[in-house]
Amino acid sequence: MSGPAQPVTAFAPATVGNVGIGFDILGHTVSAVGDKVTARRTESPGVRIASITGSPAALPLEPEKNTAGMALVSMSRALSLPFGIEIEIQKGIPLGSGLGGSAASAVAAVVAANALLDEPLDKLSLLKFAMQGEAVASGSVHVDNIAPSLFGGLVLTVGIDHPRTKQIPVPPGIRCVLVHPHMFLSTREARRILKKSIDLSDLVWQTANLAGFLSGCYSNDLDMIRDAFEDVIIEPQRSQLIPGFKAVKQAAMVNRALGCSISGAGPTVFAWCEEAYAQGIRAAMVEAFSDHNLACDHWISAIDEQGARIVDA
């Protein structure tokens, strides 16, 4: 049996990495935005990137230097594929925004390529290939964007060499407000500035907050989610990279957000809230950035349980 001869296009959603209190292990989808990758089989083995559209900055076409390309190189090598894969990447997620753009391209690439295989793989196998792509962009292997983009919803990942993922239930009616100020932040740089060790008291606080947040999600306890929604380790270090962060967060909180923090490595700031407060929170956050001379894109997103998918085959 041979795989499809026709090109296949996959969409992978943007994601909020860390969700404040789960550095490198927790993330959720943002269904409003995403990247697409079209993949087709070629006769000569190897991976080729035919085009990248939708990005104002030039992204590398060499597969080993590109997140989507590298994910496919690792897939092609591991499976010893007898055919080649050519891809076209359509970027929908702004570069350096903290919305998981590199992860989404890698995920869309492996999902599209998977549809070309004679025997498609399960999602956990695809996760491992996509992780190799993500490492190209950020200089380290982390899964908090890859896993939700692939599986959908709010996802916790435990382990790196043998990752286990868990979709966490999100209380009904929760919305995520996202405000992306027009500035570029490199994930590499936002990771480089982080201290290599932390105080024991911060560890205790952060652990309690992560546990409280997850238990609040499982039990629909919005008060617990609100009380636990505070990153005491990463946000204080990274917030200095985002002009006006304190004012933006305060604007969200006084307008009844459940919590507000940095999306991934930033500079996008996100807030969780009940649906009724989402518009007011968004307006207040955008105004606070504007007071710091930053124009923004903004979205209100449900935490969609659907992850990456084939959209055209």
Q: Rule CB under 6 A: which residues touch ligand HSE?
A: 17-18, 23-24, 100, 138, 142, 144-145, 187, 190-191, 264-265
Q: 138 to each of 104, 181, 257, 269, how far by Cα in Å?
A: 13, 20, 30, 19
The token pair that represents 220 in the structure block: 């629909």
> Which lies closer to ligand HSE via its Cβ, residue 138 or residue 255?
138
d(CA 266, CA 75): 29
d(CA 283, CA 167): 30
CB of 23 to ligand HSE, least distance (A): 6
d(CA 128, CA 131): 5
d(CA 310, CA 102): 18
> Which lies closer to ligand HSE via its Cβ, residue 189 or residue 287?
189
CB of 24 to ligand HSE, least distance (A): 4
CB of 257 to ligand HSE, least distance (A): 20
> Which lies closer to ligand HSE via its Cβ, residue 191 or residue 256?
191
CB of 234 to ligand HSE, least distance (A): 7
d(CA 243, CA 185): 12
List the end-to-end C-alpha distance of the chain, in Å, as a whole number: 18
For the chain, give the longest Cα–Cα distance: 61
> Which lies closer to ligand HSE via its Cβ, residue 136 or residue 224?
136
> Which lies closer to ligand HSE via its Cβ, residue 103 or residue 112?
103
CB of 199 to ligand HSE, least distance (A): 19
d(CA 167, CA 237): 28
> Which lies closer to ligand HSE via its Cβ, residue 22 or residue 244?
22
**Length of the chain measured in residues:** 313
The token pair that represents 63 in the structure block: 């597969």
> Which lies closer to ligand HSE via its Cβ, residue 142 or residue 282?
142
> Which lies closer to ligand HSE via its Cβ, residue 17 or residue 152?
17
